[in-house]
Chains A and B, each alone.
Chain A
Amino acid sequence: MSELNPIYVPPLDPLGLPSGPLWFVVPMHATLLLHFLFMNAVLGGTLVSLPLNVAHTGGIALAGHVARILHQLVPVCLSLAITFGVAPLLFVQVLYGPFFYTSTTLLGPVWMLLLVFLLAGFYLVYWLAYRGSNAVVGRAGPWDDRPLRRLAVAAVASGCFLAVAWIFTNNHVLSLHPDRWPLHGAWKIGRWHVAVPMVVPRYLHNMVGAVAVAALWIVGIGWWRRRRRVDDDATSAATILLGLRIALMAVLMQVALGIVFYYTLDSSVRSDLRGFHTFQGGVWTVVTHAVVPATLVGLWWATRRPSSGWRSLLPALGMGGIAIGMVLGREQVRWSYLARLAEPHAFELSDWPIHPQPSARLAFLMCFALALITVAILVVWANRAAPPPTSTDASAPREASPNPE
């Protein structure tokens, strides 16, 4: 850790925590995982759609088919990404407020610009979705056979989401490095980049990870459309195979980038991460040494027979395990950096005073149970909903089959 700049960290909030830290750490991890699932569908989905739309211009119908599916998927996923992103945003402020608020303030206008990028990207993907056909609601799409237009809009949207990810990455890294808060002796506000070695490899590792998750979505959508008989068997199998291949390549690249990222961490942090000194480090170690290789093998094996459901499910579960391991590893890295700050600023979650609010917590748990039940009911109803109504009208919804008879 750099000792060049004396550091200062604002004091903890005197109101303390209303329950022990684990009450917030666990839901933070859970909601962050869900956020990553949907957020990567958005980011990875728009990124993956770019070469697919390019391939469509070359006449590859399947590429256009999958690109259009992604364009329909992304807006809903973005809503859910924001929805599931609010919770970890809340919990990170509860647990790490002094670090989070300082880093975001030092980013200043760049932090607020994130919202502009997000809003622009949001409306762009909605525009894409409404210009495309949607088998779920039974709508035709004027841009179904216009891959260049889709490409242009998707490219701008991708740029917006890449910018959002860059800002988030820099904010997170800055929050771990109070020694980087001063810049040339001043508290410079308005930063696009934090000059710490881990930033770029971390960012690239995460962006490739988004592609891998998006590929998983393609596999899942291929299976769902096959089961609902929206696509014929050949199209479904081709879609699933495409997703598996993208996932395989992306996970391989992630491994390479992950190794680079790992070695940009401080050596003491690396030793916390590696091994079984902590629960989080232990999970991360098992994931990187066992689950990742198994998932790579599983993905390759699945590509040999994409029509087999089990062969697709196993690597999907593997990628889920990888995501859990990475989220826990990420948290361990944070704990390690903050615990090693120069005194008196070294921080551990146990430093928080606790002022219990048991009845408020109970009220929350009741609301949480209600939400789980209600959302489950809604999802079941949605899943059991009838297919969209057919129509003999000339403007009836249609989706160009990638496998013309």
Chain B
Amino acid sequence: MHYPSYNFPPLGGGLLVAIVAITHVVIAHFAVGAGFFIAITQTIAVRRHDALLLRFLRDQAKFLVLLAFVAGAVSGVGIWFSIGIVSPAATSALIHQFVWGWAAEYCFFLIEIVAGYVYYYGWDRLSPRRHLAVAWIYAIAAFMSLFIINGIITFMLTPGEWVSLQPGYNADAAYWVAFFNPTFWPSLLLRTISSLALAGIFVAVTANIHRRYSRDEKQRIINVGSYYLVPLGAMAPLAIWYFEALPPLVRELALGGAIAMTLFMSFGVVSSLFIAAYSYFGLIRRKRYINTETSLLLLAVAFVATGSMEFVREGIRKPFLIHGYLYSNGIPATREWQERLDHEGVLAHARFAYPASLSEADLADRPLEELGRYVFEAECRACHEPGGTNDLAPMVARAAREWIEATTADLHGVKYFMPPFMGTQREREALVAYQMSLRGRGRTDADPGHARSASESRTETQAAQRGEGK
């Protein structure tokens, strides 16, 4: 509301964040899992003088550096960039609530990077004992990064008692209440298992990529990696724990309440079950060899599993970005703000929703449809990309006026995952008028709040004509 909005047409901001974030999650989880894989496997390999495994670990470390330290780092920054543009209010809230957490996570990230490079460049140069110590330092630092990030991410969906502590609260106590929120522990365990599983799958991929291993050697390496998929067996009870910790209405969205969420949930569950079943029966029990194509297929399925679950986690947060605190459109979810916007109007606070050439006083004279475009910009654009993802026009293409009016008046009541309309009576009528103008159009026109020339010219002409007519 307070910031300009830009949603990357036609993708939409949500999809952009999803693409960047899911990419980063897969890589970051791999980085965590690979850390434990390398440390544990090297501990065993050194004791057994296993030259093959040690040789593979060196290749794996190189892969880790090239993937996690490059694409992982850049995609991690990419998340900051994208969420700052798409949801600046939510990003600001997370930063100001958890700056010390982010700073602590940064410390572990720093250890991770330095340890990773020392490990990779220290092969045959550090003593075996020190080299192994560096591997464990990396693994623990990577896990601690996950530990902290997990607290912040889970807070967005289940802030727990933190919301009721606002405002005028003990911020210090509220910090820990927010961090160790209801889904913190089940989520941490689920992500750890996911990390280990991804590491096991990547072992199969990298063993096949490096052509210097014979088929028997690859099979042995893949078999070692397959044991990191064993914890997948614990995912089901942990997932039940996780869902039990969700607010009931949120849980319902994933379990039938919102068809898109239920669909993605099904993708995630089926993909995970497929990986678990294949790993157990194929890789662990029968110790099968898998070639490059199969390993890449497994990786793709793992990507679908991870991406689907992340998508569901993000989607079931609706209509909030921070549950109970901030709506998806950046408007605070408090009764105080609801009453304030109903009285003063949303456009009194959404300066970037209408052109810079107009003042707030000018809005009173604007035609209803034009005003409605500005209200749309302020309250709806965050999720409904004009001409793109979730475009509003097809949704109202054949809707009756009465339906649009009733739905707009009780948006949150009609559709739980929508935030309530907040604004004056005139603004609500304007939004209805705008939606009516979309009917039969098929697509919403480009940026209402940013492309001023056509709108400005039209309204100026109309204003001039009204003046001449008097």
Contact = CB atoms under 8 A, between A and B. Distances in A.
Interface of A: 5-6, 8, 10-11, 13-18, 24, 27, 76, 79-80, 82-83, 85-87, 89-90, 93-94, 97-98, 100-102, 104-106, 108-109, 111-112, 114-115, 118-119, 122-123, 126, 136-137, 181-182, 184-189, 355-361, 363-364, 367-368, 370-371, 374-375, 378-379, 381-382, 385-389
B356 to A, nearest CB: 3
B114 A361 contact: no
Contact of A79 (B81, B113, B172, B332): B113
A309 B351 CA distance: 59
Contacts of B357: 182, 185-186
A356 B174 CA distance: 11
Contacts of A13: 89, 92-93, 95-96
Contacts of A368: 103-104, 107
Interface in B163-207: 167, 169, 171-172, 175-176
Interface string B47-87: 00000000000000000001001110110111011101100
Given A18-B175, A375-B114, A189 B74 contact: no
A5 B357 CA distance: 9
Contacts of B109: 83, 86
Contact of A186 (B3, B97, B130, B355): B355
Nearest to A354: B171
B137 A94 contact: no
Given A18-B175, A114-B81, A182-B356, A385 B91 contact: no
Contacts of B137: 374, 378
B452 A185 contact: yes
A8 to B, nearest CB: 4
B27 to A, nearest CB: 12
A85 B446 CA distance: 35
B274 to A, nearest CB: 31
A385 B450 CA distance: 58
Nearest to B125: A385
A123 B111 contact: no
Contacts of B104: 363-364, 367-368
The 5 A-B pairs with the shortest beta carbon distances in the complex, nearest first, are A185-B357, A182-B356, A101-B88, A355-B171, A371-B107
Contact of B110 (A24, A83, A181): A83
A374 B359 CA distance: 56
Contacts of A185: 355-357, 452, 456
B111 A10 contact: no
A126 B120 CA distance: 15
A82 B74 contact: yes
A186 B452 contact: yes
Nearest to B5: A105
Interface string B117-131: 110011111100010
B85 A105 contact: yes
Contacts of A375: 110-111, 114
B100 A360 contact: yes
Interface residues of B, number: 76
Contact of A11 (B2, B74, B126, B355): B2
Contact of A389 (B77, B124, B176): B124
B100 A18 contact: yes
A112 B134 contact: no
A382 B84 contact: no
Contact of B2 (A10, A94, A181, A189): A10
Given A86-B77, A109-B8, A186-B450, A370 B107 contact: yes
Secondary structure call for the A interface: helix
B449 interface: yes
A311 B171 CA distance: 53
B99 interface: yes
Interface string B132-171: 0010010001000000000000000000000000010101
B352 interface: yes
A181 B450 CA distance: 12
Contacts of A112: 8, 16, 78, 81-82, 85
A378 B114 contact: yes
B450 A188 contact: yes
B172 A10 contact: no
Given A14-B167, A378-B137, A363 B100 contact: yes
Contacts of B452: 184-186
B102 interface: yes
A108 B3 CA distance: 13
Contact of B73 (A16, A83, A109): A83
Q: Which of B66, B100, B101 has the most CB of A within 10 A?
A: B100
A367 B145 CA distance: 11
Q: Which of B8, B103, B351, B451 has the most CB of A within 10 A?
A: B103
Given A10-B3, A98-B2, 16 more contacts: A6-B356, A15-B96, A18-B171, A27-B103, A90-B102, A90-B103, A93-B91, A104-B85, A108-B8, A186-B355, A186-B451, A363-B100, A364-B100, A364-B107, A371-B111, A382-B121
B403 interface: no
A356 B450 contact: no
A32 B191 CA distance: 32
Interface string B442-457: 0000010111110010
Contacts of B359: 6
A227 B16 CA distance: 50
A87 B81 contact: no
B30 interface: no
B58 to A, nearest CB: 10
Contacts of B289: none
B130 A381 contact: yes
Contacts of B101: 360, 364
B118 to A, nearest CB: 5
B108 interface: yes
A359 B141 CA distance: 21
A387 B124 CA distance: 9
B77 A101 contact: no
Contacts of A11: 2
A86 B106 contact: yes
Contacts of A370: 107, 111
27 contacts: A15-B97, A17-B96, A24-B99, A27-B103, A83-B113, A87-B106, A94-B99, A97-B96, A98-B2, A101-B84, A101-B85, A104-B84, A112-B8, A112-B85, A115-B77, A118-B74, A122-B74, A186-B452, A187-B4, A187-B352, A355-B171, A356-B172, A357-B100, A370-B107, A374-B141, A375-B111, A381-B122
A101 B357 CA distance: 21
A359 B176 contact: yes
B213 interface: no
Contacts of A18: 96-97, 99-100, 171, 175
Contacts of A24: 99
